[in-house]
Amino acid sequence: MQNNNKKTLKIGSFKTEIYLAIIAILLIIICIQNSVLIVPSIIIYALILLYTFWNDNKRKTEITEHIQEITGNVETAAKNSLANSPFPLILMETDGNIVWKNFKFNNEFANIDIKNILIDTVKEIKLELEKRTNKKDKTIEKEINIEKKTYKIVGEYVKVKQKGRNKQTVYTLLLYFIDQTDYLNALKEIKESKTCVGILKIDNYEETIKEISPETRPQILAEIEKNIYEWASNANAMIIKTEKDTYVITFENKYLEKIKENKFEILDSVKEIDVQGILQITLTIAISNDGETNQEKYKTAIATMDVALGRGGDQAVIREDGKYEFFGGRTQEVEKRTKVKARIVAHALEELIIEANDVMIMGHTNGDIDSMGSSMGLYRLAKNLEKEAHIVNNTFGLSLSSFIETIKENEEYKDVFYDKAEAMSKITSKTLLIVVDTHKKSYVEVPELLEKTNKIVVIDHHRISTDYIDNAILTFHEVYASSASELVTELLQYANKEPEITPLEAESLYGGIMVDTKNFTFKTGVRTFEAAAYLRKCGVDIIKVKKWFQSDLQSYNLIAEIVKKAEVINDTIAISIYDKKDKDANLICAKAADELLTISTITASFVIGYLGEKVCISGRSLGDVNVQLILEQLGGGGHITLAGAQVEGMTQEEVKQELIKIIKQYFNQSET
C-alpha cells in the first residue's frame, strides 16, 4: 500500500514540474522580445515557484492523511473478514502451537480436541514443505477426517523462524477448513448408482453337455441355471440368458463390493453339482464398470471375458477403473479336443504371410528352447511360402547355448538371426511380426518392434496377463497347450501346403515341448503327444535333444546347494535363494525349483535369484498350488504349475518375505 502511495505522489509532482518548465520557457521567450520585462518575469516566476511548493506540500499532506485513513479501514476490514470468515480458519505453527483461531473454527470444533487431531497432519505438511524444490510455491492442500466429517485443508505458509536450542525450522501455517462431506457423499452416491455390466459363460459347454446322459441332462442344466439365478438375485443383479451358455448381468456399482467379499461363491457352488462320469462344471465371469455408457461397458466386459478365458477360464475377472482383479482360477486347465481353431488359424496365418513383404519372428527376452523352437517352425512355414524370414534373437541364457552352437554349425541358418539393431533397421509397416511364447508387451525380445508395424500375430500358451498385446490382427492363444512349440507344430500340420521341416527344426520344436512339459510329465494332453509323434516322424533324434539340456557338474552342484538351503513353509512349500550374480542364474533357479519338486512332501517350490539388476523368481508346482496366481502378485505370470516373476527395487530377502506373505494370503483365501 505504501509503495502505491509513493507512486501516486510522484506522478503528481512530475506533472507540476512540466507546468513550471512550460511557464519558464514562455517567460524566456517574452524576455527575449522585450528586455524590460526580464526583472518582472523573474519576480513573477519566483512567486509562482513559492506558491507551487507551498500548494504541493499541502496537497501531499492531505493525500497522505487520506491514504492512511483508507489503509487503516482496509486493514480493519481484512481483520474482520478473517475473523468472521464462513470457513473455519486457524493460524498455527508446525510445532503444534496454535497462534489464532477465527469464530467459525471455535464453533465448528468446540467439543473436539483439535490440537491432537491436527498434530499428525501438520507433521505431514512440514515434511512436504521441507522436500519441496520450488520454494516459491506457498500453497498447502490436504484432506483430513474429523469425527464423521471430511475436510479439505487449503492455505499457505506465511513465514519461517527458528525455535529451540537446535534452531529447528518452524513454519507458520494459515489454514482454511472446507467441509467436503456432502460433496463426497454425493460423489459416492453417483458412483454407486452407476451400472456394472457382466458376462457369465459356462466353460466348455458343448463338450460338457455331450458327456451328460440324455436322461439327466435337463435336471443338470436346470440345477446350473438355478445356481446362476440365485447368485444374481443375491447380488441384486438383473440377468438375461443371451445364448445357451452365456448370460449378461447388470447391477448397481454399490453391490460390487459385496460380490468381491463373497469371492464369487458361484464358481464353487456350480462345481459341487454332481455330474457323474465327467469333469466338474465350471464358469467364467467378466464384470466391467469401465465406460461412460452401458454399451461401452458391455464392450469392455467382452474384452475382460477374453482375458478370463485366456487365463484358462474357471474364474472371475473384474475390470474397474482400468485395472483388473482376479478371483478363482486355481484349478488345472482342461484340454479342448476341437482342432477347428488350429486349422482356421493356420490358413489365416498363411494368408498374412503371403500378403506381407517379409516376416520377422520374435520370442521373449532371455529366450528358451520353446520360444526358439516355435520360431524355427514358423521360419520354415514362411520360407515354404517363399517369403524372406528372420528370427529376432537379442538375448539368450545357458539353456539355449548348446542349441545355438548346434545351429551355428549349419550353413542354412547363418543369416537367419537378427539382433535388435538389425531388426529395427529392417522392419517396415509391411513386415509381418509374429510374437511367440509370450503375449506381454514388456516381455518380448525387442518391445520397440511392436510400434513399427500394425501387422502383428501372437502365438502363446501362457495364461493371459493385463499387459497383453492388444493390437494383434491374429491371435492363437491356447492356455490348454503344453507349449508354443505344440501350437506351432499343429499350425504346420494344418497348412495348405505342409512344409518339409528339417530334422534340426523338428528337434527344436520337440525340445520346446519336452522342456515345457518336464519330459512329458506336466501339462500334457492328447494333442501334446500327437504333436510329438508328428515331429518324431520328421526325424527327431531324441538323444541329441536330451544332450542340449544336460547340466554340467558345476551347475549340478549349484542346484544341489540351493536345494540344501531350502526353507519349507506351510509344510509343503519350499523356498530357496541363489545369491550369486551370474548370467545363467535364471536357468539355475528354474532347474533348482524343478529339483525341489522331486522331494516327496513338496507340492510347490520357489527359487529366488538374480537376472541382471532385477531379482527373479522361478515357481513350480505339482498342480495343487497355483504358482501363477502367487507370482502375479509380484508382477509375474505363467501357468498353474510353472510361473516366474522379475522384481525391481527390492533385495532378495525383501522379495522372499513378500513372497511368504503372499503365499500365506493364498492359503488363507483357500480356507475361506
Task: Kindly state whether residue 335 falls inside one of the protein's structural domains.
Answer: no
Q: Which domain holds residue 241?
A: 194-328
Looking at per-residue pLDDT, the higher value among 592 and 3 belongs to: 592
Q: How far apart are CA 357 and CA 388, in angstroms?
A: 8
Give the pLDDT confidence of 147-187 residue by residue, as tens digits. 888 888 888 876 666 655 556 677 788 888 888 888 888 88
Q: Which amino acid is at 5?
A: N
Q: Which amino acid is at 642?
A: L
Task: Kindly state whether residue 596 falls inside one of the protein's structural domains.
Answer: yes
Q: Are 175 and 92 in contact (CB under 8 A)?
A: yes
At residue 613 the predicted structure's pLDDT band, cuts being 50, 70 and 90, is confident
Alpha helices in 197-321 (DSSP H): 205-211, 217-234, 256-261, 266-271, 294-310
Listing from the earlier edge strand, what are the strands of the sheet with 642-647?
Answer: 567-569, 573-577, 604-611, 614-621, 642-647, 637-638
Beta strand pairing call for 431-436 and 358-362 = parallel
Whether residue 9 is predicted with pLDDT greater than 50 in this model: the reply is: no
Question: What cell was used for 289?
Answer: 464398470
What would the mean pLDDT of 474-485 be, rounded to a whole number? Answer: 86
Identify whether residues 570 and 659 lie together within a single domain.
Answer: yes
Task: Kindly state whether residue 449 falls inside one of the protein's structural domains.
Answer: yes
Identify whether residues 70 and 19 lie together within a single domain.
Answer: yes
Question: What cell was used for 578?
Answer: 541363489
How many residues are given for the chain?
672
Q: Which residue has the cell 473478514?
A: 81
In this predicted structure, what is the pLDDT of residue 2? Answer: 46
Identify whether residues 530 and 564 lie together within a single domain.
Answer: no
Question: What cell was used for 317?
Answer: 475377472
Give the pLDDT confidence of 77-110 residue by residue, as tens digits. 555 666 667 788 888 787 777 778 888 888 888 8
Q: How far apart are CA 438 and CA 444, in angstroms?
A: 7
Residue 584: Cβ-neighbour burial (10 angstroms; 0-12, 13-18, 19+): middle
Identify whether residues 283 and 346 lie together within a single domain.
Answer: no
Task: Kindly state whether residue 334 falls inside one of the protein's structural domains.
Answer: no
Task: Kindly state whether residue 621 falls inside one of the protein's structural domains.
Answer: yes
| pTM, 2 dp | 0.59
At residue 337 the predicted structure's pLDDT band, cuts being 50, 70 and 90, is very low
Looking at per-residue pLDDT, the higher value among 263 and 15 belongs to: 263
Identify whether residues 249 and 344 lie together within a single domain.
Answer: no
Identify whether residues 369 and 474 lie together within a single domain.
Answer: yes
Q: Which of 18-22, 333-337, 438-442, 622-626 is most confident?
A: 438-442
Identify whether residues 206 and 311 lie together within a single domain.
Answer: yes
CATH at 391: 3.90.1640.10
In this predicted structure, what is the pLDDT of residue 298? Answer: 93
In this predicted structure, what is the pLDDT of residue 286? Answer: 93
Q: Which of 185, 212, 245 is the last residue of a domain?
A: 185
Question: What cell was used for 258?
Answer: 459385496
Task: Kindly state whether residue 94 falls inside one of the protein's structural domains.
Answer: yes
Identify whether residues 541 and 567 lie together within a single domain.
Answer: no
Q: Which of these, 314, 315, 317, lies nearest to 303 by C-alpha position?
A: 317
- Collapse the DSSP code of 651 into the 3-class scheme (helix H, G, I; strand E, B; otherwise coil) and give the result: coil
**Contacts of residue 293, Cβ cutoff 8 Å, sequence gap at least 6:** none
In this predicted structure, what is the pLDDT of residue 521? Answer: 77
Q: Which of 548, 581, 610 is the last residue of a domain?
A: 548
Task: Kindly state whether residue 333 falls inside one of the protein's structural domains.
Answer: no
Q: How far apart are CA 520 and CA 354, in angstroms?
A: 35
In this predicted structure, what is the pLDDT of residue 8? Answer: 47
Give the pLDDT confidence of 275-317 residue by residue, as tens digits. 765 567 889 999 998 888 889 999 989 888 887 876 767 888 8
CATH at 602: 3.10.310.30
Q: Which residues pair with 360 in a beta bridge?
A: 390, 433
Number of domains in the chain: 5
Q: Which of these, 146, 281, 292, lies nearest to 200 by C-alpha position?
A: 281
Give the pLDDT confidence of 184-196 residue by residue, as tens digits. 888 888 887 889 9
Question: What cell was used for 535?
Answer: 515331429
Identify whether residues 512 and 614 lie together within a single domain.
Answer: no
What would the mean pLDDT of 573-595 be, rounded to a whole number? Answer: 85
Q: From residue 227, give the alpha-carbon distance in Å to each of 220, 249, 479, 480.
A: 11, 14, 27, 27
Task: Kindly state whether residue 133 falls inside one of the protein's structural domains.
Answer: yes
Identify whether residues 528 and 386 lie together within a single domain.
Answer: yes
Whether residue 232 is predicted with pLDDT greater than 80 in this model: the reply is: yes
CATH at 98: 3.30.450
CATH at 268: 3.30.70.270
Identify whether residues 72 and 147 lie together within a single domain.
Answer: no
**Contacts of residue 643, Cβ cutoff 8 Å, sequence gap at least 6:** 619, 627, 628, 630, 631, 632, 636, 637
The DSSP result for 93-113, as a single string, is: ETTS-EEEE-HHHHHHTTTS-
Q: How far apart are CA 303 and CA 499, in angstroms?
A: 35
Q: How far apart are CA 406 and CA 416, in angstroms?
A: 14
Identify whether residues 508 and 562 lie together within a single domain.
Answer: no
At residue 1 the predicted structure's pLDDT band, cuts being 50, 70 and 90, is very low
Q: Which of 153, 185, 217 is the last residue of a domain?
A: 185
